[in-house]
Structure 1
Amino acid sequence: MKIIRPLTLLAFSATLSLQAAQPEYVDQPQLHDIAANVSAQRIEQDIEKLVSFGTRHTLSETESETRGIGAARRWIKAEFERISAACGNCLEVYYSSATISGEKRIPDPVEVVSVIAVQRGVSDPDRYVLMSGDIDSRVSDVMDATSDSPGANDNASGVAGTLEAARVLSQYRFNGSIVYAALSGEEQGLFGGKILAEQAAKDGWRLKAVLNNDMIGNIEGINGVINNTTARIFAEGTRQTETDREATIRRFTGGEVDSPSRNLARYIDLVADRYIPNLDTMVVYRLDRFGRGGHHRPFNDLGFPGVRIMETNENYVRQHQDLREENGIKYGDTIDGVNFDYAAKLTALNAVSLASMAWAPNPPAEVSIKGAVEPSTTLSWQALDKAQNPHLAGYKIYWRYTDAPQWQFSRFVGDVTEFTLENVVIDNYFFGVASVSKDGFESPVVFPGAAGAFGE
């Protein structure tokens, strides 16, 4: 097994120029390697296997070894266990489940079972980043649990991507922990995500990022566009758990576009620019598609940072459809509608983002800011735990114009807990702080106050 530790040294920058187009950044060769090691062929094989179960509807067959949701989840668990065996049992593989009943789409008691694999970090194992895909599939009638429902793109592609990310990343060791989650019950009401999110909160997981992958394989849109070079990252603004007092503070200090989910999305967007060839990501300032939802939402509901990563151009005749042909149009989510190279590209985006965050120190906590009616801006934060973050080099302050979508300027300030940007007026910019490792890995940027906090 190949075990690689980052060796690149960080070139610290003390440049304060407001003319810089982008902050200086240390390129990480091992992240390029991770992206290159994602296999479109293995993703194709996994999607074929998931499709072979006929239907993966949440209410479908559980006893058969060849058909239904039970067979599918047992195969996924066995696959995670094979991946773990190949890395010296580096994954903790288990079922996450609860019995659901009395719901509109689950009226009678049904055990909703997800498959979870955890790769423990070496210095900060209680800090987590998570990638997920959805096991279940459906046809036109959301209660039809018997008809063939291949669910090739929605969402065998997301599960296959999660399995492939586990194969690649399990060959490395990280400071923080990585969770690979195949979630069930999505089409019936996001139940797999709700169960895991509630358990994570109960167990005190320091969950810094949820990357929900729901449909990552289609490149032919219902709008006639064929495009394999773009992807969307959906990220909510004001967090669901905001209190009335926090809302009042945000009204006067900002933060509507700087929730931890939004800064997670900015982080992934920069990862795409730096490490994923021929991919441009679109950060969408919305929880999900218009009026719709996905499995990141239960995590957002509890205050965890989470985003949805998916294709840019959806094809609705391939989503939630009975298999049929009408007026020359083929309906149904079949495997011929999946572009495996594109699914591999979005999987690589996930894998590199997870690795970068897991190698980086914990995001700064208790970030605060002051500078009203002053010529300069001062930021302060809580020192990171050195036992959890032995690779910490220090902190980098970021700022941008208030209408800019991405961070524009930065300054590495060293291993301190307060720094003043002289003659940088607080009213004219948004600010944040990231932690930086000795190898040059950076955490997501943390906006000051409760609006932007990633937690402890």
Structure 2
Amino acid sequence: MNKFGIMRKLMNAKILIRKPSLIIILLILGALACSLTAEPPPTLPPRTPQVQATLTPQNPLVPQQPVVTTDVKGGLDNNLGPTSPPPALPTSVAVITFDSPNMTSELQQVDPNRLYNTVTALVRFQNRHTLGLPNPDTGIFAARDFLMAQLYQIQVDNPQSRISIESQPYTFPYAGQSYTAENPVMIINGTDPTAGIVIIGAHYDTVNANAITNAYLDQPGANDNASGVAAVLEIARILAQRPHRASIILIFFSGEEFGRYGSLAYIEDYLVRFGMTQNVRAMINLDTIGSSSGPNGTFVNNAIRVYSAPPNESPSRQLARLAEFTVRYFLTDIRVTVENQLDRAGRWGDHQSFSDAGMPAIRLIEYAEEANKFHNTLDNLDEIDPDYLRRTTQVALSLALVLADGPNPPTDIRIDTSQSPWRIEWTPSAGATRYVVALRKSDSLTFQQELIAPTNSFAHSVLQSFDVVAVAAIDANNQVGPFSAEVYLPASVAAAN
């Protein structure tokens, strides 16, 4: 029996004792409740698993194709409909530049070879069907054990970090029977109780559309969704190396293909039960992000789509705008197109579970999607472009770093129209040295103008050319944080009425 097989038998026999769910939740609640001046809780000792799975080394990978430098389809459309172009930037307003050493260093750590190795390991389990029975070598329980071993290894490699790991069991009904499945979870406890919780997730289950209830048909699921799982695991390895202001939950959902059972169970059994939904700053769902090839020979390796719940002012849509803004300033070889939908027509994802429960949530998905290669054996390793998967992973990581490390945004933006030009002001954010003022027309899915404000107020005629404003803080390390809730400027409010 190989190393993986021994480890899986040990876990199925419950020789590996998991930490109780309640302990992990209490750790997060304690971190959120403590003050910034209090002594930090002691570092949690790493727990060494009985057996650790390792990835099989492979030859270094090279990009399948050069990065496309022209816009796809004549340009990425980020507007709800026809809109007037933004006004020219006044020369008296500072142009935004960022040089964040932490973000630059950590984004460069994303390794396409390691990502591809993880996808390969998951494909080798033949399928990851949620209705499957425990098996040491194939199926979803074998995949669960592999993921748990990888998470334990991250914990062992980073004893300085306060990391908690568990696999959350839940039951769900299907076709008149009750089934049990699990969601592997890693929590990196944050240092600032005011920074909230950032959740990064991907579903690891698969289904074969030829017989969706057959748990034993071959279904590699390389792109849908071993690609997203590999990205979350890679992000976990990088984020675990140092503390972050926000607590970060990295989770692998089962049951997504049958109706989001895993994400619904996690929300109900953990976030709702312990009153944590209001602390969730964002949920980032990575689902099908590894292929640059589309139908009819199309090829797009410099773009990714983001879906979010409408309307255009919703917290989820505002999170999607933050993703587009972040990538535009911190990554040079990929861009985000914000879609005006919750998901593709007739489709769903685990982000929907979170936005339905009132939490900001988005789905990242590749730009060139080939529908006839999902839920069948065509979804194999041939579909994975390792360097494109590196870029899409960097998109999610860059957003996570802004959410988890940046200063808190202002919460009380005030608009003074009694003088010309108009002025906006706000209470200073802790740790902020300057601010980003972002503006858009009401019908734009993205910000159309970003300006630097050196203090907690900004006055300029440019304000009267837009409808919506939001403000983000920047700290002394040049780390930008999330934007405030968007505020409509008075002229737009009057026009809307």
- TM-score bracket for this pair, using the shorter chain length: 0.7 to 0.9
Q: Cα deviations across residues 328-373 of structure 1 (Å, max 9, x unaligned)?
A: xxxx2111211122112111221122112211022333556564x8
Distance in 2 separating the partners of 1:424 and 1:226:
39
1:232 aligns with 2:287: no
Partner of 2:397: 351
Give the Å deviation of 1:317: 2.3
Partner of 1:254: none
1:292 to 323, 347, 370: 347
Normalising by structure 1, what TM-score?
A: 0.79
SS of residue matched to 1:143: coil
Give the Å deviation of 1:420: 6.3
Distance in 2 separating the partners of 1:305 and 1:382:
24
Identity, % of aligned positions: 26
Normalising by structure 2, what TM-score?
A: 0.73
Q: Structure 1 residues 411, 60: closer, same or farther in 2, change over 3 A?
A: same
One-letter amino acid of the structure 2 residue matched with residue 209 of structure 1: A
Q: Structure 1 residues 130, 19: closer, same or farther in 2, change over 3 A?
A: farther
One-letter amino acid of the structure 2 residue matched with residue 94 of structure 1: E
Partner of 1:250: none
Partner of 2:157: 86
2:184 to 94, 97, 115: 115
SS of residue matched to 1:122: coil
Task: Let me know the Cα RMSD of the aligned residues.
Answer: 2.7
Distance in 2 separating the partners of 1:197 and 1:365:
26
1:397 aligns with 2:437: yes
- Give the unaligned 5+ runs of structure 1: 1-15, 239-256, 324-331, 451-456
Partner of 2:267: 197
SS of residue matched to 2:437: strand
Task: Spell out the pairing of 1:32-431 with structure 2 (5 A cutoff).
Answer: 32-61=104-133, 63-88=134-159, 90=161, 91-101=163-173, 105=174, 107-124=176-193, 127-140=196-209, 141-198=211-268, 199-203=270-274, 204-205=276-277, 206-238=279-311, 257-321=312-376, 323=377, 332-365=378-411, 367=413, 369=415, 371=417, 377=422, 379=424, 391-393=431-433, 395-404=435-444, 405-412=446-453, 414=455, 416=456, 419=457, 421=459, 428-431=466-469
- Give the unaligned 5+ runs of structure 2: 1-87, 489-497
Does the Cα contact within 8 Å between 1:401 and 1:429 map onto a contact in 2?
yes
Which has a greater percent of helix?
2
Q: Structure 1 residues 347, 422: closer, same or farther in 2, change over 3 A?
A: closer
Give the Å deviation of 1:380: 5.8
Distance in 2 separating the partners of 1:318 and 1:22:
47
SS of residue matched to 2:121: helix
Which gives a bigger RCO, structure 1 or 2 (Cα 8 Å, sep 6+)? 1
Q: Structure 1 residues 21, 232: closer, same or farther in 2, change over 3 A?
A: farther
Give the Å deviation of 1:280: 2.1
Distance in 1 separating the partners of 2:354 and 2:369:
24
One-letter amino acid of the structure 2 residue matched with residue 73 of structure 1: R
Q: Structure 1 residues 153, 402: closer, same or farther in 2, change over 3 A?
A: same
Partner of 2:484: 446
Q: Cα deviations across residues 149-206 of structure 1 (Å, max 9, x unaligned)?
A: 1111100111111001111222232221222111111001011111223322433251
Total equivalences in the alignment = 395
Partner of 1:247: none
Q: Cα deviations across residues 303-323 of structure 1 (Å, max 9, x unaligned)?
A: 2111111111112222012x3
Partner of 1:248: none
Give the Å deviation of 1:56: 0.6
Q: Structure 1 residues 52, 436: closer, same or farther in 2, change over 3 A?
A: same
Distance in 2 separating the partners of 1:146 and 1:37:
37
Give the Å deviation of 1:17: 5.8
SS of residue matched to 2:207: coil
Distance in 2 separating the partners of 1:38 and 1:181:
19
Q: Structure 1 residues 277, 431: closer, same or farther in 2, change over 3 A?
A: closer
Q: Cα deviations across residues 267-305 of structure 1 (Å, max 9, x unaligned)?
A: 222332333332122111211112311110111011211
Does the Cα contact within 8 Å between 2:354 and 2:361 map onto a contact in 1?
yes
Distance in 2 separating the partners of 1:277 and 1:88:
34
Does the Cα contact within 8 Å between 1:366 and 1:448 map onto a contact in 2?
no
SS of residue matched to 1:109: strand
